[in-house]
Structure 1
């Protein structure tokens, strides 16, 4: 690298200048890689990155003010996902609790393979006083700080202890963020004294750099094996994962399904890969899947996984794919995922691989009786969805599925629906009628309570013309409502659907099913026996949302809910629709789980519920198999 021309900047100033000149490029389209920086300033970064962001100006590196460090990462992840992983945000925090608050968000980003750049402050590299404020003292290692908590949840980690070390560290960080195989959370820990230190930087460091996001095609030999396997299969089933969306391969999947008639079932991350009314779309698969998709999975002789990680929800904890002769064909850009379940592998970009498969399978189509079976099963499930959404009396309090039905009637193709945790993911995966590739935004890799509201802000920043809905229960809302203030401050008109069901409904149901009798899962006063089985807590979450600056619409009936949702969608202000749901056993609900999920149950117990649950567990676990 030539040093004939240099520029004297602090480390923080140089990093901001560098980040402003990084781009990705795919299919001839260029995207700025780091489009903004979220931040909360403390003594670990206020005079370093804070000063650098101020000096660079909003046009160079836009700054976004957050209220919670974890939430800032969630917002960045929502932005990256909506941007197809081609653009991302940075997040800066001080050393100490600000930095450790990043860990949950970093884990979520890495689990879901979504890029985010973390820039936490760090303790002094020069150690002028030992210990300094918020320094973790480790007797056996002088170079450990709390930021080392981020190592296992980061795809790349470096601590920049010298100014010149920023150059290779920053380049490696960009490489990982832009790589569809390696991407996730990237952490550059920045000691606060180093951030403020000046250095003569080579001008070449600040040149525009384009990081190509290529579409590797499958190897011919592997493609030939895959084509042979598909042609030989009598009952093939495609499992569409999130990689289809990341690759923008939805049209290629549709072309393959149209040409071959192979049915498609989707993971949480892959839902929307086909439009809900496409004849080959069988809906969600696995523990939260549809009856038709899970029935097909049990009898399939070839599972074609495209861009999926095969989580335990997808495989029903290795009990779903039950045919003795079942084989797997995995198309994935990540070799680690492609080789799962002893599969034939197509290590390639999802779009390039699907296009190659479609061309090589020209003239091939599944048997007409199999197509008819899929159509019949799909029609039966559509009737089940309609029953779950149905309303007999618009003056009645809605159930949770009726809330989804009311929202289904309001949204258009362009809307985005965001959720991550509670009982909503199961209901949405089974029932939601996805109209477009980016409409269904479920974070179910980490299923993190508190994700939805900040993610909605990130999605709206990436797609300012799309109505965005954050769906949360009361448990999730209480985890992290603070970014509503950010939405109000920035005029980001997200829509929040806040469902009050007085506790952790999802875990309550799981607790009941596993013999734990809903212990500790309700938001209620203590009863005489010391358990939380008294009256519901007198909290007013709608008033809380209003106190944070949101417009709030209260809906007590199905009719009021419909009106409120329509008004929220038409509003240009951040709006909360608050509804208390009917949780009675007689209320309309989604069909029960169509496949098992392994949650270990007490092997020995005296309470009858736990004894019965263990008997059920032993029966299910006997069906588990290893796919070799």
Structure 2
């Protein structure tokens, strides 16, 4: 058996270069590169290995595989966000590795790991770790536990990783790497994978079998629906009087949007969308009724309240989708769930159809040939969608207020952006407004991270989307919508966007505080406490607006900056940003007290049961009223006609 002598770090990088992925006959390398910030825990191991490969690439040396590209980040959490956004834009068919040093460098990645796993998006984390030999314990940044000699701060990755391992001997590496990539490429199990790398082991040499570095192709399967399960689902759909499809992120990742459109057009079934599923149909498709749930449209939520059958496609039914289990209000509502993950397919006491979304939708279209839902039901859905679209048009229009509403800002960007352009957002009030108001025209035109809703994701995520689009040869502008709260938490990857010459357009909305939580606080009787950026006075944080110049901050990080003082200047600024070739930040101040149009859907956030504040007491009365409408959805699915005959 032929071998090659390499360090553990060098072998890891060589292995990653050799991994390929294939689906539907399309094959390409799985790993797009490696993000990294170096410290004593990884600089001489993974840092040296990446340098060696970069030198080889630059010098044109012989190699079996394209050397892995290295990208320099400014914040460890942000590197993971960029990696995850890249993977999402590429439908989980490409991914990044991310390395950071031992200690705070490693633990800074934990938030990104949680985001990846909750959203079921692949990222490989390679944090440095303390010495496996323990010859110099405690080393710098090591956590000592008197009761656990093998404990390290990297153990915090265990609950937020789909697979975790610590490489304490070179012999452990091959099996760990194979397990890691198996999880990363599995649409059911994917998420963050963490391989903790003790710094001494990274630099240790070993004779590796050459087979470890041979080209390996991971085939991403498209599981077919089981025939009996398909029959049960088809029977349930055929007997439904007011069915509704709820399309989630699984539709997008499976590339099943065309199959969904074909099913909707053939059957007349209306389609509502979750945050991750927005873009499953173009906003103006006759069967599209828009966003559903707590941030949903009046159209989708009215249909959800009436639906006797809900057909979930690739959704995990978060509390925002179900409006905390109040939006599906029909007394006899049943659920059918098409999902590649059995865990999700069985939610809400559904009739499960465990299959790939594309193959499942194709099978349903074939089995339902000739059947259509009631024409009045389809017509009502179309009318409700048209009524909501008129509301969106009204929200987008200009008025004479001194400061524009956030909905007007979104309207300008939506109007001026091209159909293939991407809007990126994650936290605050804008995700809800975007879900309701954004008119999506492309299956990849909407990128809102709402599984973890992580403040600070926006700019790093926008960079990841821009990199993914560039690598795929796509002509798209990327619009990052970020509020001042999220911007202050993480803006550093503006520097990386400039360094990498990747253009993003950042719309920085200044409203001097946390608009989303401010509105929520007020609705819960907490009077917007702690949500406004104000100077401290003797009575609290209720003084003047803070003299913070975010536009100047963005300029100091290397971006071009345009300040818009009203909605007309904002429109001109967006046009200038589109014509620019560099990352551009458009700063605009909005009025946080002007809400976007809404549906009456609810979100369960408990209110204090007792309080001396009248505002809280009144909010509790409203809360108790809503709680009466929550549903456990524990009913047994109705039997099929065949089952009744048995």
TM-score using structure 1 length: 0.98
Matched, 1:369 2:369: no
Matches of 1:398 and 1:408, distance apart in 2: 15
Matches of 1:223 and 1:363, distance apart in 2: 17
- What secondary structure sits across from 1:322 in the alignment? coil
Pick from 502, 520, 529: which aligns with 2:530? 520
Q: Which residue of structure 1 aligns with residue 12 of structure 2?
A: 15
Matches of 1:594 and 1:162, distance apart in 2: 58
Q: Which residue of structure 2 aligns with residue 574 of structure 1?
A: 583
Matched, 1:405 2:414: no
Once the two structures are superposed, residues 205-248 of structure 1 have per-residue CA deviations (whole angstroms, 9 ceiling, x without a partner) of 00100000011110000000000000000000000000001100
- Offset of residue 391 of structure 1: 1.1
Matched, 1:610 2:616: yes
Q: Which residue of structure 2 aligns with residue 39 of structure 1?
A: 36
- Offset of residue 407 of structure 1: 0.4
Matches of 1:56 and 1:529, distance apart in 2: 59
Pick from 548, 558, 563: which aligns with 1:549? 558
Matches of 2:625 and 2:28, distance apart in 1: 52
Matches of 2:297 and 2:324, distance apart in 1: 16
Equivalent residue runs for 1:420-499 within 5 Å: 420-464=426-470, 465-499=475-509
Matched, 1:66 2:73: yes
Matches of 1:608 and 1:197, distance apart in 2: 66
Once the two structures are superposed, residues 126-178 of structure 1 have per-residue CA deviations (whole angstroms, 9 ceiling, x without a partner) of 11122111111111111110000000000000000000100000000000000
Matched, 1:51 2:78: no
- What secondary structure sits across from 2:159 in the alignment? coil
Matches of 2:116 and 2:384, distance apart in 1: 36
Aligned residue pairs, count:
620
Matches of 2:317 and 2:515, distance apart in 1: 26
Pick from 593, 599, 614: which aligns with 2:605? 599
Retained in 1: the 8 A contact 2:298–2:598?
no
Equivalent residue runs for 1:113-152 within 5 Å: 113-152=120-159
Q: Which residue of structure 1 aligns with residue 192 of structure 2?
A: 185
Matches of 1:457 and 1:31, distance apart in 2: 22
Matched, 1:538 2:544: no
Matched, 1:279 2:276: no
Matches of 1:208 and 1:346, distance apart in 2: 35
- Offset of residue 345 of structure 1: 0.5
Retained in 1: the 8 A contact 2:8–2:206?
yes
Once the two structures are superposed, residues 277-312 of structure 1 have per-residue CA deviations (whole angstroms, 9 ceiling, x without a partner) of 001110000000000100100110000000000000
Once the two structures are superposed, residues 1-49 of structure 1 have per-residue CA deviations (whole angstroms, 9 ceiling, x without a partner) of xxx1000000000000000000110000012111100000000000000
TM-score using structure 2 length: 0.95
Gaps of 5+ in 2: 58-65, 635-646
- What secondary structure sits across from 1:118 in the alignment? strand
- What secondary structure sits across from 2:244 in the alignment? strand
Matches of 1:7 and 1:350, distance apart in 2: 43
- Offset of residue 396 of structure 1: 4.9
Matches of 2:562 and 2:449, distance apart in 1: 26
Matches of 1:173 and 1:123, distance apart in 2: 21
- What secondary structure sits across from 1:314 in the alignment? coil
Q: Which residue of structure 1 aligns with residue 423 of structure 2?
A: 417
- What secondary structure sits across from 1:121 in the alignment? strand
- Offset of residue 399 of structure 1: 1.1
- Offset of residue 582 of structure 1: 2.5
Matched, 1:510 2:520: yes
- Offset of residue 413 of structure 1: 1.3
- Offset of residue 580 of structure 1: 0.5
Matched, 1:346 2:343: no
- Offset of residue 357 of structure 1: 0.2
Matches of 1:359 and 1:579, distance apart in 2: 50
Matches of 1:186 and 1:149, distance apart in 2: 13
Q: Which residue of structure 1 aligns with residue 317 of structure 2?
A: 310
Matched, 1:77 2:84: yes
Matched, 1:204 2:208: no
Matches of 1:76 and 1:172, distance apart in 2: 20
Retained in 2: the 8 A contact 1:488–1:549?
yes
- What secondary structure sits across from 2:193 in the alignment? strand
- Offset of residue 409 of structure 1: 1.3
Matches of 2:364 and 2:535, distance apart in 1: 59
Once the two structures are superposed, residues 509-538 of structure 1 have per-residue CA deviations (whole angstroms, 9 ceiling, x without a partner) of 0000001111100001123312x2221111
Equivalent residue runs for 1:193-342 within 5 Å: 193-342=200-349
- What secondary structure sits across from 1:315 in the alignment? coil
Root-mean-square deviation over aligned CA pairs: 0.9
Matches of 2:329 and 2:518, distance apart in 1: 29
- Offset of residue 364 of structure 1: 0.6
Pick from 156, 165, 184: which aligns with 1:158? 165
Retained in 2: the 8 A contact 1:95–1:120?
yes
- Offset of residue 593 of structure 1: 4.2
Matches of 1:246 and 1:582, distance apart in 2: 36
- Offset of residue 251 of structure 1: 0.2
- What secondary structure sits across from 2:395 in the alignment? helix
Once the two structures are superposed, residues 418-446 of structure 1 have per-residue CA deviations (whole angstroms, 9 ceiling, x without a partner) of 00000001110110000000000010000
- Offset of residue 379 of structure 1: 1.0
Matched, 1:622 2:628: yes
Retained in 1: the 8 A contact 2:426–2:458?
yes
- Offset of residue 461 of structure 1: 0.8
- Offset of residue 506 of structure 1: 0.2
- Offset of residue 583 of structure 1: 3.2
- Offset of residue 594 of structure 1: 2.7
Retained in 2: the 8 A contact 1:289–1:594?
no
